[in-house]
């Protein structure tokens, strides 16, 4: 086989590791290099906001299990600082250069930080994305602060607030929108989630933003909120979304910005003129790509399952793409545990215009809700009913009509679909996929289905 001899993977987290394993599975026996900015071997992030934060799991037990020996060179603790596509070289921040025949970009995202001039540098102001973040935040929570402020009621914010209540800590959560999880799941399900917060004893401030974080002697003391109140808190967790780690690609010629790196459905990176770049691939949270199920837009997902599936597709195409290219079309799926419930989702709820509870009931906190866009099923959310979701996934992939005809034994007699109540119009979300397809792909509207 006349394949590549040197493959470089930039990003040594879930997508990077699984891609490296898949490259070996696909028969690649050349030199494999993994570059990571953190000093740690690849670790699993979902436990950080759950078992780690509660003190149940130490961070050094979060290492990702290895599916196989990958026989790789690891360059950890050194971020990549640039790429030269013509010379096929990755530059590292410490001045080294790593040549490649094929390159995989899997640098992921980071938590959007709080602006420094509004108190972002105060001691006690934290984000939660990395192992070090989790260690810091766990120590801060274990110290028993009088109150924790969580900024943002997305998935991370909800999980942090939930752990705080488990630890019997007072917690205030601010949320710009009218309900938790609003941008991810819409207002109908969001208002049910409001009940979870309130019953857990969270001080939830909806329609409220933080104006400033204020400190004394460099330590956080209080937050001024847009509702005119002041919250005294020693710890603030900023859970306000993610930024793609793409600065190192600035000027490279790739279609990359804070929203991600654009690639096609075969995971090939696109140049800023929209044409595929030879031998450069993208996978994981940093990738923005056109999902065949959701035409007319680019998707970027902060999802564990997607990172694994996209890594495998990219690895396959890096080795066998010229003969048998594979499209990355895995159905989006994610889960969260908060306030004692398990929430699992397939598809893309944020596209939907209608929602209907198809099984169980919102009040019982055990239900399945189906999401429809213009008469087609596009997503389903299951709360404490994870095992039924595969059935919905098959219906979504088959383009089943909405509302779905189920007659489920625990469903209502009649399905009354409601407005899904997503905030619109929101920047960067396309609610009308009538967008002309002649748009050059890098500027196509995008959907961010992150955990915020």
Partner 1 sequence: MTSTTHQHTASDLFAQALRYEHRANPYPYYEQLLRQPVIRMDDGTWLASGHREISLLLRDPRISADRLPPQHQRPIRKSLLVEDPPRHDQLRRLVTQQFVPRVMGMRDHIDALVTGLLDAHTSERAGQLDVVGDLAYPLPVTVICELLGVPREDESLFGSLARRLTRGLDPIDTQTEDEIRELQQARGELVEYLEGLIARHDATGGDDLLSGLMHSQEPDGPMDPVDLRVTLGLLLIAGHETTVNLIANGTLALLRHPDALARLRTDPDLATPLVEEVLRYDPPVQMSGRSTLADIDIAGTTIPKGSRVRLLLAAGNRDPQRFADPDRFVPDRPDNAHLGFGGGIHYCIGATLARAEAQIALTALARRLESPRLIADPPPYRENAILRGPERLPVSFTRLVPGAGEA
Q: Which residues bind partner 1 (CB under 8 A)?
A: 358-360, 366, 368, 385, 387-392, 394, 398, 405-411
Q: From its phi and psi, is residue 335 left (phi > 0), alpha (psi between -120 and 50) or beta? A: beta
Which residue, 36 or 411, is less far from partner 1 as judged by CB?
A: 411
CB of 169 or CB of 408, closer to partner 1: 408
Alpha carbon distance 26, 72 (integer Å): 15
User: If DSSP codes are grouped into helix, strand and coil, which group holds residue 310?
Assistant: helix
What contacts 216, CB < 8 A, 6 or more positions away? none
Nearest to 155 by CA among 355, 342, 16: 342
Nearer to partner 1, 41 or 393 (CB): 393
Check: CB of residue 101 under 8 Å from CB of residue 6: yes
**Residue 393 C-beta: closest distance to partner 1, Å:** 8
- Considering the complex, what minimum distance in angstroms separates the CB of residue 411 from partner 1? 8
Q: How far apart are CA 308 and CA 306, in angstroms?
A: 5
What's the CA gap between 276 and 266, in Å, rounded? 10
- End-to-end Cα separation, the chain, in angstroms: 44
Least distance in Å: CB of 71 to partner 1?
19
User: What is the DSSP secondary-structure string of 211-240?
Assistant: EEEEEETTEEEEEEETTS-EEE-SEEEE--
Q: Identify which of residues 108 and 347 has a Cβ nearer to partner 1 in the complex.
A: 347
Of the pair 19, 171, the CB lying nearest partner 1 is at 19
Closest to 9 in 3D by CA, of 33, 42, 28, 30 = 33
Q: Which run of H or E residues covers position 298? A: strand 298-301
* Shortest separation between residue 119's beta carbon and partner 1, angstroms: 43
**Minimal distance, residue 392 CB to partner 1, in Å:** 7
User: From the CB of 390, what's the least distance to partner 1, in Å?
Assistant: 4
Closer residue to partner 1 (CB): 385 or 431: 385
Q: How far is the CB of 216 from partner 1 (least distance, A)?
A: 46
Could you tell me which residues are beta bridge partners of residue 43? Answer: 63
SS3 392: helix
Q: Which is nearer to partner 1, 204 or 369 (CB)?
A: 369
């Amino acid at each position: 086989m006349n394949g590549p001899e040197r493959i470089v993977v930039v990003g040594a987290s879930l997508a990077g590791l699984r891609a490296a394993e898949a490259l070996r599975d696909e028969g690649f026996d050349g030199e494999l290099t993994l570059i990571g900015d953190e000093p740690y071997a690849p670790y699993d992030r979902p436990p950080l906001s759950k078992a780690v934060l509660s003190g149940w799991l130490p961070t050094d037990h979060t290492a990702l299990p290895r599916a196989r020996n990958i026989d790789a060179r690891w360059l950890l603790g050194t971020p990549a600082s640039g790429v030269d596509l013509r010379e096929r070289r990755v530059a590292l921040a410490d001045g080294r250069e790593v040549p490649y025949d094929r390159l995989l970009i899997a640098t992921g995202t980071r938590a959007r930080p709080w602006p420094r001039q509004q108190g972002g540098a105060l001691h006690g102001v934290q984000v939660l994305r990395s192992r070090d973040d989790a260690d810091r935040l766990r120590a801060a929570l274990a110290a028993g602060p009088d109150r924790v402020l969580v900024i943002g009621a997305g998935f991370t914010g909800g999980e942090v607030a939930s752990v705080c209540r488990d630890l019997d800590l007072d917690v205030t959560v601010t949320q710009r929108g009218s309900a938790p999880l609003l941008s991810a799941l819409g207002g109908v399900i969001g208002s049910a989630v409001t009940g979870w917060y309130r019953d857990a004893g969270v001080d939830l401030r909806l329609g409220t933003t933080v104006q400033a974080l204020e400190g004394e002697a460099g330590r956080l003391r209080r937050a001024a909120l847009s509702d005119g109140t002041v919250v005294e808190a020693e710890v603030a967790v900023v859970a306000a979304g993610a930024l793609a780690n793409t600065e190192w690609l600035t000027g490279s010629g790739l279609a990359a910005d804070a929203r991600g790196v654009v690639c096609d459905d075969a995971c090939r990176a696109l140049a800023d003129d929209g044409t595929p770049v030879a031998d450069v691939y993208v996978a994981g949270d940093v990738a923005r790509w056109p999902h065949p199920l959701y035409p007319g837009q680019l998707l970027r997902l902060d999802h564990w399952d997607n990172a694994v599936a996209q890594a495998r597709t990219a690895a396959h195409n890096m080795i066998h793409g010229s003969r048998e290219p594979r499209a990355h079309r895995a159905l989006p799926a994610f889960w969260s545990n908060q306030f004692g419930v398990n929430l699992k989702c397939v598809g893309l709820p944020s596209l939907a215009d209608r929602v209907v509870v198809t099984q169980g009931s919102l009040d019982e906190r055990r239900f399945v809700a189906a999401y429809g866009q213009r008469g087609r099923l596009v997503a389903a959310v299951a709360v404490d009913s994870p095992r039924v979701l595969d059935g919905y996934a098959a219906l979504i992939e088959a383009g089943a009509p909405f509302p779905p005809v189920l007659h489920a034994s625990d469903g209502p007699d009649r399905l009354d679909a409601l407005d899904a109540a997503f905030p619109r119009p929101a920047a960067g979300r396309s609610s009308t996929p009538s967008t002309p397809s002649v748009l050059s792909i890098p500027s196509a509207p995008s959907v961010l289905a992150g955990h915020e």
